[in-house]
Amino acid sequence: MAKGKGKSKGITEAKIKAFEEKRDVLLGMGGEKMIKKQHDLGKLTARERLDIFFDKGTFQEVQLFVKHRSTLFGLDKKEIKADGVVTGFGKVNGRTIFCAAQDFTSAGGSLGEMHSKKIWKVMDMALDARKPFVALNDSGGARIQEGVPSLDGYGGIFYRNTIGSGYIPQITAIMGPTAGGAVYSPALTDWVFMVKESSYMYITGPDVIKAVIGEEVTHDELGGAIAHATKSGVCHFATENDEDCINKIKTLLSYLPDSCHSPLPVAECTDSPDRECPELDQIIPDRATRGYDMRKVVAAVADNNEIFEPHALWAPNIVVAFIRIMGKPVGVIANNPGSGAGVLDCNASDKASRFIRFCDAFNIPILTFADVPGYMPGTQQEWAGIISHGAKLLHVYSEATVPKITVVTRKDYGGAYIGMCSKYLGADYVMAWPSAEIAVMGAEGACNIIYRREIAAAEDPAAKRAELVGSYEEQFNNPYFAASMGIIEEVIAPRETRKRVATLLEVLKDKSEVRPPRKHNNIPL
């Protein structure tokens, strides 16, 4: 065979240089002027956010060279770097995460046909790889010049959000404007973070609201982080700035598995399963009408007293939180007597139900602390649908197949007793403190019904009522009647709570339940 006349030179230097120049232009995003404007607003750029989020040197960008193909309204003459969104994957604390970060410096991060297809690609990759997906939203909304294809882009994102629901964890951070159709993807994901003062989300903005109904409102009042964290409950975490937001996302991810088929992440534990919590022996007030902070109970039981609380500002009468017991994630639901006596209302029921369903979807055990006087009475709650909202709580506890442990600390009355994961709603193990009061209702209300004739006929009705109330309390307002019926498994000293919970979680770790086959259930939405 004849030998060649010369050696192959491979790719020429000129082609490599041209590639590097094209790449560097795209990495420059919207240019120095737009980047400065982003910084002046107190916001980081998309690439700066990704640099903080991913472990150094691990981010692999996907489809950097994609660009729009629209020729309408002068777009054929306009270059939008990376089409306004940076997509890819990398390691976050050593674990693979997929991400899409909208770039506000490039055409306001507006979503068009190719922009959305870049997001579809990494979402599809996340689903195939069974890894979490994180969206960092900072966008002026749909790219109006592209017309319907931009709306179809949102549709494809919503579809993937729904297909991935309960399969992989999905997290959205609102780090700038998010309006119109763009708000529905965050609402379809599991967790929503917002940045105070620099982010907002709403269906229709202040100008449209003023024009249509004459109401004047600012962007922040209408859809800012605090508005959604306190009033609507759409926002789970209101953060101080971009860096705080990203760091809190990383903390949340440390509690979550890669997918519903993956094992839970286990952190190194320096706490002891036998640690007692003597402070809990003193936490219940002497008077039943006095409140206390249930977060202190949750923290006492957790490894190293650490809790991570979503929805801290919404429906504060109930607490939901992630903790670890011997390094393993646990989801906690707890009435908070320090706010509204820990009563269950529409918002509290929704807050707890959503959290329980998330934990069950991703195989996170559920620990419930009950101190609840009942469901909130009144026309406002009835007309707001407390019946259907309260039914959600019954549904999700019954539906959940993960280990479920309940601790009754004080009041546990009526329908709310059932709603807070009672034994016959599916709890695997129910414990009560000596201070527990498990009954249909409070002693005074019960006596006013049961003994109304005796009280009315008494020479001194007030004294007779006090006597009967005392008798009722002695018989029913304690855990021993329920324990004698096997409705609770045991009465424990409060200081023993962590030890008992740690033991039970170990015992129940291989729990398995099989439910009747069906397409899906029909939760009372």
Task: Give domain limits for the chain.
Answer: 29-253, 278-442+477-507
Kindly state the tokens that stand for 248: 């809190």
Q: To 5 degrees, how large is the angle CA 340–CA 343–CA 347?
A: 95
Q: Beta partners for 328?
A: 325
- The one catalytic residue in 30, 180, 223, 390 is 180
Residue 288: the pLDDT is 79
Residue 274: the pLDDT is 95
Is 60 exceeded by the pLDDT of residue 6?
A: no
- The one catalytic residue in 30, 181, 223, 331 is 181
Kindly state the tokens that stand for 450: 């049961």
Mean confidence (pLDDT) of the chain: 92
Q: What is the rounded CA–CA span in Å between residue 424 and residue 409?
A: 18
Is there a catalytic annotation at residue 415? Answer: yes
DSSP summary character for residue 183: G
The string of pLDDT tens digits covering residues 470-485 is 888 777 778 998 899 9
Q: Give exposure, 468-496, as e/b (b: 16+ Cβ within 10 Å).
A: bbeebbeebbbbeebbeeebbbebbebbb
Question: Residue 91, class by beta-carbon neighbours within 10 Å (0-12 exposed, 13-18 middle, 19+ buried)?
Answer: middle
Strands 437-439 and 404-413: parallel
In this structure, are residues 346 and 385 in contact, taking their beta carbons and an 8 Å threshold? yes
The string of pLDDT tens digits covering residues 386-439 is 999 999 999 999 999 999 999 999 999 988 999 999 999 999 999 999 999 888
The string of pLDDT tens digits covering residues 43-56 is 999 999 999 999 99
| Angle between helices 497-507 and 294-301 in degrees, nearest 10 | 60
Kindly state the tokens that stand for 143: 């790219």
In this structure, are residues 436 and 284 in contact, taking their beta carbons and an 8 Å threshold? no
Q: Beta partners for 439?
A: 413
Q: What is the rounded CA–CA span in Å between residue 304 and residue 295?
A: 14
- The one catalytic residue in 233, 327, 415, 426 is 415
Which of 63-67, 172-176, 214-218 shows the highest mean pLDDT?
172-176
Q: What is the pTM of this model?
A: 0.93
Q: Give me the half-sphere count of Cα atoms (radius 13 Å) on the Cβ side of residue 340.
A: 17
Kindly state the tokens that stand for 396: 């999700």
Is there a catalytic annotation at residue 331? Answer: no
Same CATH topology for 29-253 and 278-442+477-507?
Answer: yes
Which of 124-138, 173-187, 200-214, 478-492 shows the highest mean pLDDT?
124-138
Select from 180, 123, 127, 114 the least CA-distant residue to 153. 114
Residue 1: the pLDDT is 47
Is there a catalytic annotation at residue 233? Answer: no
Domain 29-253 adopts which CATH fold? 2-enoyl-CoA Hydratase; Chain A, domain 1 (3.90.226)
Contacting residues for 164 by C-beta, under 8 A, at least 6 apart? 123, 126, 127, 133, 170
Residue 446: the pLDDT is 81
In this structure, are residues 347 and 386 in contact, taking their beta carbons and an 8 Å threshold? no
Select from 235, 238, 179, 175 the least CA-distant residue to 206. 179
CATH 3.40.50.1820 describes domain 278-442+477-507:
no
Select from 248, 298, 261, 291 the least CA-distant residue to 277. 298
DSSP summary character for residue 372: E
In this structure, are residues 245 and 173 in contact, taking their beta carbons and an 8 Å threshold? yes
How far is the CA of 13 from the CAs of 10, 27, 492, in angstroms? 9, 21, 76
3-state SS record for 469-502: HHHHHHHHCCCHHHHHCCCCCEECCHHHHHHHHH
Residue 391: the pLDDT is 95
- The one catalytic residue in 400, 416, 436, 483 is 416
The string of pLDDT tens digits covering residues 245-300 is 999 999 999 999 999 999 999 999 999 999 999 999 999 998 878 999 999 999 99
The string of pLDDT tens digits covering residues 487-498 is 999 999 999 999
Select from 313, 275, 289, 244 the least CA-distant residue to 53. 244
| Chain mean position to CA 73 | 41
Select from 306, 351, 353 the least CA-distant residue to 326. 306
Over residues 172-195, mean pLDDT: 94
Q: Beta partners for 407?
A: 369, 431
Q: What is the rounded CA–CA span in Å between residue 272 and residue 269?
A: 8
Is there a catalytic annotation at residue 10? Answer: no
The string of pLDDT tens digits covering residues 433-466 is 999 988 887 777 788 888 888 888 888 888 888 8
Over residues 178-190, mean pLDDT: 92
Q: Which residue has the tokens 């109970």?
A: 297
Over residues 22-36, mean pLDDT: 84
